[in-house]
Chain A
Amino acid sequence: MSEFSIEFKDLSKLYGQATILNNLNFGIHKNKITTILGFSGAGKTTLMKHILGLTMPTSGDVIVLGTAINKLDELALREFRRNFGMVFQYAALFDFLTSFENVAFPLREFTKMNEEQIKDKVLNLLDSVGISLEAAYRLPSELSGGMRKRVGLARGLALDPHIMLYDEPTSGLDPITTHMVYDLMRDTHYNNVHHGFTSVIISHDIHATLKYSDYIVFMEKGQVVEHLDVESFKKSANPVIRRFLEL
């Protein structure tokens, strides 16, 4: 078995004439927390969409858990996506459903669990991310940003994914809530790692990244400038990274 759960092979992506991802070759370590850092427009979200097969490469391959995901047909790809959990930048909760129903949604769609089992599992998940019973029956528009993100995390975890993706999970949150969310991501990681669990976080937040990640990928203009474990990253001599570290 490969030491990577996600691998990029000669991956390039062009939108029209613009090269957004430029010949990427690297892997994301299995069962570790990897953060993708980079300035706005570096191509981080585009990279994550390739992992999910939401965007297809112009050339090259994306290999997830041993499968070239860009070669799957549409139905197989949908099936395959159940390996992923995803937390979106602004949580992306379905605005017509309560927190409870948001978390129950993937269970209703993809499992044969009965109403009682669903209720047990959803309330458990919500409890584990610190959402009270009362908030469980509110609509997303009636929750704070931090609460929404936690419900989003619970929804992402509902189907016991093997890869958890976070697109800027703490943007728009205050420093204390930011750390709570990071703690939650770390706890989630270590609670699940025994059955195979890889966390990939996109972030701008250098301090939290250094504190919580195992590996850091630094992207600039569609290329990977540096891909190191945290300790080596801190010592990197690369001038762009030094600038980022000194912020």
Chain B
Amino acid sequence: MRDMVEKRIENLGNSVLDLLNGLGDFTNFAIRTMFWTFRPPYRFKLLFEQIYFIGNKSVFIIFLTSSFTGAVFAYQIYVGMKVINADSFIGPLVTIALAKELAPVPSGLVVAGRCGAGMAAQIGTMKVTEQIDALEVMGINSYQYLAVPRILGATLSLPLLSAIFLMIGYGGSWVIGTQVLQIDDITFTSKVSDFMELGMVAEGIIKATVFGYLIGVIGTYQGFRVTGGAEGVGKGTNMAVVWGMITVLVVDFFLTSFLTKIL
């Protein structure tokens, strides 16, 4: 009995140690990639390729998700607002929600699923087929060559995608609000400009930038730590998606509580 309890405690201790170890590795990786970001050579071509890759992979899903999110949200709010005769507030409510939360978070989830996974798969494959060793043997820093453009690419693209999400989502709510729910167009738009503040847009943009950075670091980190063949690549890809999505959701909570204080 005592043995069993001790064993349990030992196991628990080991998993905590493993987690801390992993966190240490991850932090180390993040610091090293940050260091190599600011050292020449600057590989703009690779950066643009990554931005293109991320945009290309996610823009269609962003388009789809955002238009429906805006439209559905407009409907849902209408149902509630109608009761208190405040249905003309649909515009600002939807837009504020989109700017602060409903654009950056789903955009982050989409990019984590599509691109974080892609990064881990590409780099992981290169790892198990010794292509990363080949880079290193030639004297090229593989973090700088492979991780930096992907991390920067995600950091720069996600705010853009989130902005696109916001605009299309707004469009979706406008269509539902003015065309279906018969709110006057002037009322709808003027209410939006009355209540929207720059800080709200800034909050979303800052969030999206942080998400992009973290998704990039997680995706590339999972790629670099792949070991053991195709199976390992699959595992790494999976981890990149899971951790990418969890991170977006958890970090969103902390960023919200922080940013609403300062903005």
- Which positions in A face B, CB cutoff 8 Å? 52, 54, 78-82, 84, 86, 88-90, 92-95, 105-106, 109-110
Contacts and interface: CB of A to CB of B under 8 A. Distances in A.
B129 A78 contact: no
Contact of A54 (B125, B126, B133, B140): B133
A86 B135 CA distance: 11
B230 interface: no
B141 interface: yes
A110 B139 contact: yes
Interface string B195-232: 00000000000000000000000000000000000000
B139 A86 contact: no
Contacts of A78: 139-141
Given A90-B129, A92-B129, A95-B129, A81 B139 contact: yes
Contacts of A94: 126, 131, 134
A86 to B, nearest CB: 5
B130 interface: yes
16 contacts: A54-B133, A54-B136, A78-B139, A79-B139, A80-B139, A81-B136, A81-B137, A82-B138, A82-B139, A86-B137, A88-B133, A89-B130, A92-B130, A95-B126, A106-B138, A109-B140
A79 B138 CA distance: 9
Contacts of A89: 130
B39 to A, nearest CB: 10
Contact of B130 (A80, A81, A90): A90
Contacts of B129: 90, 92, 95
Given A90-B129, A92-B133, A94-B131, 16 more contacts: A52-B137, A78-B140, A79-B139, A81-B136, A81-B137, A81-B139, A82-B138, A86-B134, A86-B137, A89-B130, A92-B131, A93-B134, A94-B126, A95-B125, A110-B138, A110-B139
Interface of B: 125-126, 129-131, 133-134, 136-141
A159 to B, nearest CB: 8
A109 B140 CA distance: 9
Nearest to B137: A86
A169 to B, nearest CB: 13
- Would you list the 8 A-B pairs with minimal beta carbon distance, nearest first? A78-B139, A92-B130, A92-B134, A81-B139, A88-B130, A86-B137, A92-B131, A106-B138
A31 B238 CA distance: 48
Contacts of A105: 138
Contacts of B125: 95
Contacts of B130: 88-90, 92
